[in-house]
């Protein structure tokens, strides 16, 4: 089955700096890669996703890049703000069985 690894597990940045979270996956059949943000005590919510036919996707301060050859994808947050502080999860899905495999999460702290 699929194995998704996520790094780092914790990340602290100064407000205004950029944050990068990286994930690797093992199953070359995976073709859908969502990122979820979970604030303390709340449910995970999708913030951005990318499909395997695209190399990069951007939404305001958030971007995701995908390298299919190397089997890794990354979340980039620019101009970080305190409200970006949360746990971020990456996931991979092959789409054939709709099984989602989640990374272990990155706790991001943005220091004002």
Partner 1 sequence: GAGVSQSPSNKVTEKGKDVELRCDPISGHTALYWYRQSLGQGLEFLIYFQGNSAPDKSGLPSDRFSAERTGGSVSTLTIQRTQQEDSAVYLCASSLTSSGGYEQYFGPGTRLTVT
- Binding footprint of partner 1 on the chain (CB under 8 A): 1, 31-32, 34, 36, 42-46, 49, 51, 89, 93-105
- For partner 1, the closer of residues 97 and 112 by Cβ is 97
- Nearer Cβ to partner 1 (46/111): 46
Quick check: helix, strand or coil at residue 65? Answer: strand
CB of 79 to partner 1, least distance (A): 25
| Shortest Å distance, C-beta 26 to partner 1 | 15
> Burial code of 51-80, b = ≥16 C-beta within 10 A, e = fewer?
ebeeeeeeeeebbbbbeeeebbbbbbbeeb
In the bound state with partner 1, the residue whose beta carbon lies nearer, of 68 and 78, is 68
Least distance in angstroms from the C-beta of 68 to partner 1 = 14
What is the SS3 assignment for 40?
coil
CA 94 – CA 34 distance, rounded (Å): 12
């Amino acid at each position: 089955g699929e194995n998704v690894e996520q790094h780092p597990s914790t990340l602290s940045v100064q407000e205004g700096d950029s944050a990068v979270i990286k994930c690797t996956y093992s199953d070359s059949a995976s073709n859908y890669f969502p990122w979820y943000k979970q604030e303390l005590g709340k449910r995970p919510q999708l913030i951005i996703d990318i499909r395997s036919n695209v190399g990069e996707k951007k939404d305001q301060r958030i971007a995701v890049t995908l390298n299919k050859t190397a089997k890794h994808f990354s979340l980039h947050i620019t101009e970080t703000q305190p409200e970006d502080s949360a746990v971020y999860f990456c996931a991979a899905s092959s789409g054939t069985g709709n099984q989602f495999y989640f990374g272990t999460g990155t706790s991001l702290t943005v220091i004002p």
